[in-house]
A = this chain, B = another copy of it.
Amino acid sequence: MAPHSAPDSSRRSERSRVAILTAARELVTELGYTRLTIEAIAARAGVGKQTIYRWWPSKGAVVFDSILTLSEGPDGEGVELPDTGDLEADLKTVLRATAAEFADPAFEAPIRALNTEIINDPALAETYREKLERPMTEAKKRRLRSAKRAGQLAADADLDLVLDLLYAPLTQRWLLRSGPLDEAFADALVEATLRAFGR
């Protein structure tokens, strides 16, 4: 079990912890991050404000934790990308799925909230990379290494750079709403990246 989902202390009320995280997730979806308040979370969760302040240092930290619980199945570590043997097809599948996820209104508000916080809070950014991004990044790199072995990716390709080329434009367009986020765009990203690093 991931450590953040366990009580920090044996005295801690699991009931309250879950109620707070649930309320935060709901409210950030309903109101957006800026209009979300600690008082509203406490009220919705049926909890004293002090219980929130006792266990989280800031609104951002609560929301962050509430998002962590979203993306966490029974086995938080077992993320794996499809590997059909065809790198281009697999990447297109994955990027199309990511683009679709960005369009899902249930994810939109929390993820924008998360990014808002991360931009302005280096400490939270560090936690984010550790807890959320790294497992995903590792899974992606495993797929890319498999592609290298299969001769579908240049052996000397910098995997971090490859992932940046694939994902940064997608995230950027979504965050700044600077262009369409359709499957054509996802495909074009994959194709361009593989032109740069393929073989």
Contacts and interface: CB of A to CB of B under 8 A. Distances in A.
Interface of A: 32-34, 112, 115-116, 118-120, 122, 125-126, 128-129, 133, 158, 160-161, 164-165, 167-169, 171-173, 175-179, 185, 188-189, 192-193, 195-197
Main secondary structure of the interface of A (DSSP, over half): helix
This protein's copies in its complex: 4
B161 A189 contact: yes
A177 B116 contact: no
B160 A168 contact: no
Nearest to A157: B192
Given A116-B120, A195-B196, 5 more contacts: A118-B175, A161-B185, A161-B189, A168-B171, A192-B193
A164 B173 contact: yes
A178 B120 contact: no
B164 A118 contact: no
12 contacts: A115-B176, A116-B119, A122-B177, A128-B176, A129-B178, A133-B178, A158-B188, A161-B185, A164-B179, A165-B192, A192-B196, A193-B196
